[in-house]
Structure 1
Amino acid sequence: MRRALSLLALALAGCAVGPNYRAPKPAAPAQYGEAEAPSSAPAADLNGWWHAYNDPKLDRLVAIALADGLNVKLAATRIGEARAQERVARSQFFPQINASGGVTSERFSKNAGFSSIAQALGDGGASGGSTGGSGGGSSGGIALPGGFITTYAAGFDASWELDVFGGVRRQVEGARARIEAAVWNARDAQVSLVAEVVDDYMAMRLAQERETIARQEVDRQTRNLQIMGENAKVGLTPQGDIIRQRAQLAQAQASVGPIVAEGKAEMHAIAVLLGKTPDAMIVELSVPRPQLPAPPAVPPGLPSDLLRRRPDIRAAERNLAASTADIGVAVADLYPRFNLTSMAQLISTALGNLFTADSAQVMGAAQATFPILDFGRRTGTVTLRKAQADESYVQYQQTVLGAFRDVEDALIRIRTEQQRNVALKAGVVDAQRALQAVDARYRTGLVDLTSVLDAQQSVLSDRDQLAQSDAQLRRDLISLYKALGGGWDGMPAVDGPSAKPMTPDYSAPKHK
């Protein structure tokens, strides 16, 4: 009988209740709708994509952010939390063993009901010695009324709940999935951090370029005012033209301040992303840099590549796996629990003979607990875990669709901005030619100063719009890099798992 029970326990130990997880396979389009490349285009090489801007300063900022950025550090702490949770879950596979030791001293009442028995025993033991205390003694370990007895104990106790129905295995399974989710979230934090640093850097460089254009315009307007002042002295320039030129100069000077403030705000943002105080990078980033080159075009590759590249998709899939394992934990709670307990102690009324064989006391017990009535608590928990798994599945679907949308949005923005950029470049060339023509006619007296000022304002506006378009094109490319997964595999590891990332066998999840 005992052997049969042992075989039954071993057979049950091989199963785990609840659904076995199978990762979903979302439907991916054959190619991106906004992509100009054919569907056979190779996947984009995203490793170190920010190096395409050939800016050592930017490379240094990204390296500092990946090493010291608080967002990445926060994600790393969450990996540590998940690993600690996995250790807690895994510890339930093993017995819980405790060591204990103590001494107990008890004084017996003179007026208790058993005092006459103790007194008789005490009187019958002529050679009994007192263990201490006034008014009484003990014999054979029994204290006299009014006396006391001291007991010494040392030993171990152990308890072990058998994982017959796999509840602990499901807990460990879910905990490991959450570790992997935390790692993918950390990689997603890296992708987002790099994209934010580069984006803020481009915004700062745009502000610096716009500031340069604005200051050049102030210098040009100042020179014009000086020339007109000299001409007015000999009667060649009307006083009204000088007044209008002063107004134009004041407007150009007023445009500089907001642009400078915008650039400083971007410097503050970069410093915080690097884990520094907002003013820490002002001096270093205020040094003008050469004009940035246009980054190369990015082939988006196939939509199916996105499912493997995007860290947020991988994290959402791992969260779904963890939620599915939680169902098994709840289902296991519907089944009986089997506990083994044991205790081994040394107990004696004398410390001198405590560590002898005669002081040994051993106890062992086996217990089975069968759930009978809990008014729906356990079944309600199972229903709750299934609903949470369904929620995780929907969140996974949302993440996948959102990733496809991010790529499509970035592609259409890049294409339309490229078209706008070409038009703006042509507009700047035409505006400069028009200014030259109007200025020549003004010098010969064929037009008044108003025409010249209008032409100058047109050139300034077109140059400013072109600078913003150049920056917007770079920022749209940053959005595409981020939407495609951001090249996390080329970044420093964030305390990731020792095992290789899981490549799931996609199929629809089923909940029992």
Structure 2
Amino acid sequence: MTSLTHKLTPIVIAMLVTGCAVGPDYQPPEVDLATTYIHSNNQRSADSQQHAESNYWWHQFNDETLNKMIADVQQQNIPLTVAAERISMANSYHSIVESFKVPTVNIGASYFNYQLSKNDSMLGSALNPIGDSVGGLPPQLGAMTLSDNQHDGGFVGASIAWEADIFGRLDRQANAAKIRVEQAEIFQNGLTTLITSDLIHNYLQYRGAQERIDLALANVEDQRKTLDLVKKVVSSGYGSELDLAQAQTLLAATESMIPQLETAQQVHKHRLAVLLSEPLSQVDIRLAQHQPLPLMNDVIPTGLPSDLLTRRPDIRIAEREMAAINEEVGAAIANRYPKFFLTGVPGVTAGSFDDLFSSDSIGWAGAAGVSWNVFDGGRGEAMVELHESRFQIAAMHYQHAVDSAFAEVDSALFNYGRAQENHSRIVHANEASDTAVSKAKSLYRAGLIDHLSVLDAQRQQKMMQDRQIAARLQSAQATVLVYKALGGDWQI
């Protein structure tokens, strides 16, 4: 055994030094993208790096309540906490795979006591007394035995085993596990984007419903005063029943909007509570102060389409999936090559505890081995082909993710531009409706038109006021969708 070990050791060391890792080297994919977005223009785009050096983009809403809620949701949200645990799990798995690259050492100790059978067909003769009739012993020596049948003693030692990763199989598996950690981190960042955008969406919807309720209540108050005035005019014989019916209809229509808006407001408040992982009473405290619907009026840093490859979580995860599977292809190829092992069992053994740690009690065993599965019915080759097919599928998913991201950004930019245009037109229409109401009231007081015309002008005015709030909300939501599509940095 010693001579065999001495012969194998130089061979193993030479292979360890030279190495011969097998499998394909990973090359990041190259994708052809346009130089600009179709619906991007200088008025709505800016350099993304310059913007990244400023405050977080949602600070431009100038809403401290929103800023505090975003900071808290990124710390308290349960799915984000689960995502953090998944990173911990991925790190643990990576450590497990890495551990196979180093020797495994087990330390043990034992006490043994055994008795051999004197009737054993092989050893029994050595355990029974023998005399002059057996073995030619002189009579004066009397009866004697060659060996005791009872033995005891102790052992303290270690067992060491190590696989020499000549062809890089363990290295490939460890690299794949490390990439899975990166994917878990990217997933957490992407989930942070989704959770943050969901919170902003619900906060904006809540504030929008709140502002629309305030407007509706103010309209109800005005319309009740108008109705009282119409009743007096009709009772004096100067008005018509049609004027009265129109005033009553307008009031009832406005009052009917309030329950719907209150329901929407409550739904979004409950959603905020779920996102924040807080009781509804705590969210009520956060939202106790009435604030107007925040509106961002700033440049959106669209950057270049190529920035999506490093900013979008879905694209980054798809690219890392290709890298991980590439390593698994290499591991499957290396698994078809021989595996080399070194083992050793040093220790001390003695029949007495006092002698256990003396130099004469030392013993050891060592071995160098090789294992090569030369025939498996094509299983190893099929495993390589399976992982290669997975890689091709991952490459197609990557291309699809890039195409979808580019289309999503362009669509979001188009929606943002139209939302801004719609808001601008609504503002002008609202100003015109204010002028129309003012002139209608003047003409009515002069007796040149009936009150029906005044009511119609007021109805148009209230409708435009409500639509202006909706347009502001749409513009703010379009801003959120653009930043979400661009995959910007949402992490506090």
- Which TM class, normalised by the smaller chain length? 0.7 to 0.9
Change in 2 beyond 3 A, CA 1:121/1:177: farther
Greater shift in the superposed pair: 366-375 or 350-359: 350-359
Change in 2 beyond 3 A, CA 1:291/1:198: closer
**What's the secondary structure of 1:32's corresponding residue?**
coil
Q: What corresponds to 1:173 in structure 2? A: 175
The one-letter code sitting in structure 2 at the alignment partner of 1:402 is: S
The one-letter code sitting in structure 1 at the alignment partner of 2:191 is: A
Deviation digits for residues 374-431 of structure 1 (CA, Å, limit 9, x no counterpart): 1222212111211222222222222222221221011111111222222222222233
Q: What corresponds to 1:55 in structure 2? A: 63
Q: What corresponds to 1:26 in structure 2? A: 31
Deviation digits for residues 419-474 of structure 1 (CA, Å, limit 9, x no counterpart): 22222222222333333444445555655554444333322222222211111111
Deviation digits for residues 267-298 of structure 1 (CA, Å, limit 9, x no counterpart): 22223222323443123214211453442131
Given that 1:37 and 1:299 are in contact with CA atoms closer than 8 Å, whether structure 2 keeps it comes out as no
Greater shift in the superposed pair: 351-360 or 320-329: 351-360
Given that 2:127 and 2:146 are in contact with CA atoms closer than 8 Å, whether structure 1 keeps it comes out as no
Distance in 1 (CA, whole Å) between partners of 2:21 and 2:104 is 22
Q: What corresponds to 2:79 in structure 1? A: 71
1:403-418 map, 5 Å: 403-418=405-420
Work out which of the residue numbers 440, 463, 466 in structure 2 matches 1:464.
Answer: 466
**What's the secondary structure of 1:255's corresponding residue?**
helix
1:82 equivalent in alignment to 2:82:
no
Work out which of the residue numbers 199, 202, 207 in structure 2 matches 1:200.
Answer: 202
The one-letter code sitting in structure 1 at the alignment partner of 2:22 is: V
Given that 2:44 and 2:299 are in contact with CA atoms closer than 8 Å, whether structure 1 keeps it comes out as no
Greater shift in the superposed pair: 206-215 or 174-183: 174-183
Change in 2 beyond 3 A, CA 1:38/1:279: closer
Distance in 1 (CA, whole Å) between partners of 2:17 and 2:316 is 35
**Equivalent pairs: percent with the same residue?**
28
Q: What corresponds to 2:125 in structure 1? A: 117
The one-letter code sitting in structure 1 at the alignment partner of 2:427 is: K
Q: CA deviation at 1:326?
A: 0.9
**What's the secondary structure of 2:369's corresponding residue?**
strand
Q: What corresponds to 2:138 in structure 1? A: none
Q: What corresponds to 1:5 in structure 2? A: 11
Q: CA deviation at 1:40?
A: 10
Q: What corresponds to 2:318 in structure 1? A: 316
Q: CA deviation at 1:247?
A: 3.8
**What's the secondary structure of 1:341's corresponding residue?**
strand
How many residues align structurally?
Answer: 472
Structure 2 residue runs of 5 or longer lacking an equivalent are 1-6, 133-143
**What's the secondary structure of 1:103's corresponding residue?**
strand
Work out which of the residue numbers 338, 341, 344 in structure 1 matches 2:343.
Answer: 341
Structure 1 residue runs of 5 or longer lacking an equivalent are 125-137, 493-512
Distance in 1 (CA, whole Å) between partners of 2:245 and 2:46 is 61
Work out which of the residue numbers 248, 251, 261 in structure 2 matches 1:249.
Answer: 251
Distance in 1 (CA, whole Å) between partners of 2:94 and 2:152 is 44
Given that 1:141 and 1:149 are in contact with CA atoms closer than 8 Å, whether structure 2 keeps it comes out as no
Q: CA deviation at 1:355?
A: 2.8
**What's the secondary structure of 1:276's corresponding residue?**
coil
Given that 2:211 and 2:292 are in contact with CA atoms closer than 8 Å, whether structure 1 keeps it comes out as no
Given that 1:211 and 1:260 are in contact with CA atoms closer than 8 Å, whether structure 2 keeps it comes out as yes
Distance in 2 (CA, whole Å) between partners of 1:295 and 1:40 is 13
**What's the secondary structure of 1:36's corresponding residue?**
coil
Q: What corresponds to 1:131 in structure 2? A: none
Q: TM-score, normalised on structure 1? A: 0.84
Q: What corresponds to 2:224 in structure 1? A: 222
Distance in 1 (CA, whole Å) between partners of 2:131 and 2:424 is 117
The structure where helix makes up a greater share of residues is 2
The one-letter code sitting in structure 2 at the alignment partner of 1:219 is: E
Deviation digits for residues 217-253 of structure 1 (CA, Å, limit 9, x no counterpart): 1111121223234445544444564454334323222
Given that 1:264 and 1:282 are in contact with CA atoms closer than 8 Å, whether structure 2 keeps it comes out as no
Greater shift in the superposed pair: 475-484 or 449-458: 449-458
Distance in 2 (CA, whole Å) between partners of 1:297 and 1:399 is 26
Distance in 2 (CA, whole Å) between partners of 1:52 and 1:325 is 44
CA RMSD of aligned residues (A): 2.9
Q: CA deviation at 1:343?
A: 0.7
Change in 2 beyond 3 A, CA 1:480/1:86: same
Greater shift in the superposed pair: 429-438 or 441-450: 441-450
Change in 2 beyond 3 A, CA 1:115/1:179: closer
Distance in 2 (CA, whole Å) between partners of 1:401 and 1:257 is 43
Given that 1:96 and 1:158 are in contact with CA atoms closer than 8 Å, whether structure 2 keeps it comes out as yes
Change in 2 beyond 3 A, CA 1:247/1:117: same
Work out which of the residue numbers 351, 356, 363 in structure 2 matches 1:354.
Answer: 356
Q: What corresponds to 2:141 in structure 1? A: none
Distance in 2 (CA, whole Å) between partners of 1:317 and 1:255 is 49
**What's the secondary structure of 2:365's corresponding residue?**
strand
Q: CA deviation at 1:203?
A: 1.4
Distance in 2 (CA, whole Å) between partners of 1:38 and 1:256 is 38
Q: What corresponds to 2:140 in structure 1? A: none
1:35 equivalent in alignment to 2:40:
yes
1:366 equivalent in alignment to 2:374:
no
Distance in 2 (CA, whole Å) between partners of 1:336 and 1:436 is 93
1:282 equivalent in alignment to 2:284:
yes
Q: What corresponds to 1:504 in structure 2? A: none
The one-letter code sitting in structure 1 at the alignment partner of 2:47 is: P
Q: What corresponds to 1:210 in structure 2? A: 212
The one-letter code sitting in structure 1 at the alignment partner of 2:104 is: Q
Greater shift in the superposed pair: 161-170 or 114-123: 114-123
Q: What corresponds to 2:136 in structure 1? A: none
Greater shift in the superposed pair: 49-58 or 273-282: 273-282
Q: What corresponds to 1:384 in structure 2? A: 386
